[in-house]
A = this chain, B = another copy of it.
C-alpha cells in the first residue's frame, strides 16, 4: 500500500496501453455523448472531424482506467478531488493505441493526515503524439508511524 509520501514529486509511471474499437466508441457514446461524430460511421465521415472519434468523456475514462490500475488501486486514496486543465489534443480514432504516462507533479496541504497529490498525466497516440493531457488531484492518506511503506527498503525503519 502506497501513501502520499510514496508518491514523491518527480516519480514517474508507465501506465500501459488501451485501444478502443469502433463498437466500443459507439456503445459508450450512445449512452453518454450521442453526437453523430461519436455514434455513426457514415455521418462522422461527413462531419467536422472527418471520421468517427471517441467522446472526450471516454478518452478521459481510458486514462483513468490506466492510472487506476497502475497507481491509484495501490494507494491509500481518499478520493479524487478534481482535474486541472484537461486537454483533448486530437481526435481518438478506432484502433489507435493510447499509451499512458504519469509524473507526480506536486503535493499540497489538505487536512491533518492527508495530502492532495497532483498527477500530471498524458495519453499518446500511434505517432507518439499527445492526444490527452491533464493534471489530476487525488486526496491521499499520509503514512502513519509504524506502518511500513512500499518504498522502505527491507529492514529499514
Copies in the assembly, this chain: 2
Q: Are B55 and A64 in contact (CB under 8 A)?
A: yes
- List residues of chain B with CB within 8 A of the CB of A86: 82-84, 86
Q: Is A79 an interface residue (CB 8 A)?
A: yes
The CA-CA distance from A34 to B70 in the complex, in Å, is: 12
Residue count of chain A within 8 Å CB distance of chain B: 35
Q: Closest approach, in angstroms, between the C-beta of A17 and any C-beta of chain B? A: 16
Q: Is A22 an interface residue (CB 8 A)?
A: no
Q: Which residue of B53, B65, B82 contacts A87 across the interface (Cβ within 8 Å)? A: B82
Whether A34 contacts B64 in the complex (CB less than 8 A), given A80-B56, A86-B82, A88-B81, comes out as: no
Classify the interface of chain A: helix, strand, loop or mixed.
mixed
Q: Are A65 and B35 in contact (CB under 8 A)?
A: no
- List residues of chain B with CB within 8 A of the CB of A82: 85-88
The CA-CA distance from A60 to B32 in the complex, in Å, is: 9
Whether A79 contacts B37 in the complex (CB less than 8 A), given A57-B60, A64-B57, A86-B86, comes out as: yes
Q: Are A31 and B87 in contact (CB under 8 A)?
A: no
Q: Is A77 an interface residue (CB 8 A)?
A: yes
